[in-house]
Structure 1
């Protein structure tokens, strides 16, 4: 157990620590007789995912005697963290959406980890560079990558076989397969050929079309372009072909129920699908008109908030989970998620499993979202609302991209 200058535990302050952690976790964290120091772990994962995180915390707890990690789910975990910072009531470690890092570092919400990394000789080269980059701001490391993901193409094996089509590899094949697998009953859509319901994936489609989201200098948007229009024209052609209707399958997993033949989804969907009778396969996302590949890399890291009462325990948990490949693989077996540790991600458990192989292949070219100041607001406040109006038939493709460009450029200017 660490007793370095980094330790936040002063001698004789155990009673204060226990009281503080009890308040943070929302429950009684009084000693269990083991003598282990409590580590409070926050995240936004809920439902079945709680058991997954609890199982991983239990595995860490069983691996050593110094610390005991407890997972406490939180809605809107980032906002809860800011509230906790104001009151001095924060957890020790947080399951963190890496994309939020540039937003929260200026608020002094996250503790730098470079001293831990240097003292323990942690090689950051063992992680996917794109994932690590989202946690490094101005050459300061604020977290360690934990999980990576991308959207690859899921297909219903039975639906494609009945239609006599192969899993698509490009846009034209995707449209043909979607048309062939769409089913209607008296004009009512009963099986969508393709689930075109997530305009937030526009960035991915744009890359496949050979376009880009922002200018090279990052000062203006670049999606209002021939390539951007090509994406929306393709989407419109899918809608015109009747392979999807807005709102179809809402509130349920229509793919798991056999009511969607093709969809873009991530590895988090595997554990749920494997509990159903749906026979499915996964291939890389389809290439664009000129063969360009594109995919987005998302995922989570682990961070330590400023003011954490047991930062040392949090670091030991982070290091155990992220730098020991076998622990990343074991969590993949529990959850379906792919580790950000490259060695773990290339374990035979993933590479020799056809359900994971496409995700691992796609990680070779998947890119994280832009870190340009204001980029998250450009997508969330300008682009996605405009694309939603386009999909609803309220505006044309040209209008949608023009409106998004005007507001997006203003957002970028306000953030410079």
Structure 2
């Protein structure tokens, strides 16, 4: 799941907003043009997407512009959209609508950076049950809704089908099968790893393995960490077994895409990877749901949403664009055809375009049980500053499993306490 939380930007928000005169309708949209000529009202659309993705968003905006005569959406790419939004809030020149990681919503809404959309939802009788519930929940803060979920993703298991067929093994469905398949798919030449059976380069996937083991990231009150547990130790014991079997070595394939180059046989990755992999000559791969652990299946959901900043010049146009894109399934499917991203609208995600493609179908099936990360303030720091660094030390052999989780717990609990 792609995350772009900028801790420094979040910390700076309170001081920036202290000098901001917030309020709907106040300020001038950055990047927009005057409507003095009586044409469609401009809607300035910000996001961090760049490169080839700019054309994808521009094509979707053009489709909305052609569907009505009142508004004209213009996409403006911003490299660090959260930081740019902070600056815009301080200067009173905010965009009308922003595409961002849904996880950002719980960080920025309490500071007054976003406009609630409950009245708009009620006025247009929008069916919120049309969205994946966990994704919608990430747009809600303290009982108010601050945006609509747009796109969803999860990590499912990508497998090199050619390698599986040659090894005579089936795609794994459990941890035990995953270990057996990884061992069978690993290739060495004189002790030198030539093909890793399973990519273990991302310790951030601990959360997914933890839920498969029946554990939790935080306690029921979401005030303290809960990953230093028998379930957390079970995850690290499983990882250690895989490393002891030699299915992966730290640093293997660094600087390359080893799955695309067939030097990694299995990898947990998201739907964003498919467009690139489909361009690789000779690569035959498939996607299956992530293997179940001792407690059953488990996965985490990420993705993007659309929000309206407080002080947007044209919130009405922003809302019309959001509603058109997210609540009409055909428009979500159309963007899937353009970009390969899965809509957060359940009906759109279950369109034959996705479900009849076996690779996308696996991601859609995984959505049925995928959950979202805790949205409490400070948890992003728990992951980024406490948990993942400790797990990296564990994978490098610098800390035992017990030491790693204890260290992460102590640091993580302190971070949560400081954020309250």
Length-normalised TM-score, structure 1: 0.91
Q: How does 1:183-332 map to 2 (within 5 A)?
A: 183-277=187-281, 278-288=283-293, 290-332=294-336
Structure 1 CA distance for aligned equivalents of residues 252 and 74 of structure 2? 39
Q: Secondary structure at the match of 2:164?
A: helix
**In the alignment, which residue of structure 2 is the partner of 1:3?**
none
**Residue in 2 aligned with 1:8?**
25
Q: Is the Cα contact below 8 Å between 1:149 and 1:359 reproduced in 2?
A: yes
Q: In structure 2, what is the Cα distance between the partners aligned to 1:67 and 1:189?
A: 57
Give the corresponding residue for 2:67. Answer: 63
User: 2:91: which partner in 1?
Assistant: 87
For residues 230-252 of structure 1, give each alpha carbon's deviation from its aligned partner in whole angstroms, at most 9, with x where no partner exists. Answer: 11111111122221122222233
Q: Which 5+ residue runs of structure 1 have no aligned equivalent?
A: 1-5, 10-16
CA contact (8 A) 1:209 1:230 kept: yes
Q: Is the Cα–Cα contact under 8 Å of residues 7 and 312 in structure 1 kept in the other structure?
A: no
Unaligned segments of structure 2, at least 5 residues: 1-22
Summarize the Cα distance change of 1:294–1:348 in structure 2 as closer, same or farther, 3 Å threshold.
same
Deviation at 1:263, TM superposition (A): 0.4
Tell me how far 1:316 sits from its aligned partner. Answer: 0.8
Residue 103 of structure 2 corresponds to 99
> Could you list the runs of 4 or more consecutive aligned residues of structure 1 that deviate by over 3 angstroms after TM superposition?
6-9, 28-34
Post-superposition CA distance 1:161-206 (Å, at most 9, x none):
1111100001111111111112223333222211111111111100
Look up the match of 2:390: 386
Match of 1:35 in 2: 39
Q: CA deviation at 1:410?
A: 1.4
Q: CA deviation at 1:382?
A: 1.0
Deviations 1:83-121 (A, max 9, x none): 110111211111121111111112211111111111111
Alpha carbons of 1:7 and 1:142: their partners in 2 closer, same or farther (altered >3 Å)?
closer
Task: Determine if contact 1:170/1:291 at 8 Å carries over to the other structure.
Answer: no
Asked if 1:395 is matched to 2:396, the reply is no
In 1, Cα distance between equivalents of 2:346 and 2:196: 36
Determine the C-alpha separation between the residues in 2 that align with 1:399 and 1:103: 30
Q: CA RMSD in A?
A: 1.9
Q: State the Cα distance separating 1:270 from its structure 2 match.
A: 1.4
- How far did residue 149 of structure 1 move? 1.0
Shift, 1:37, TM fit: 1.6
What corresponds to 1:149 in structure 2? 153
Residue of 290, 312, 337 corresponding to 1:333 = 337
- Secondary structure of 2:260 counterpart: coil
2: CA distance, partners of 1:249 / 1:61: 44
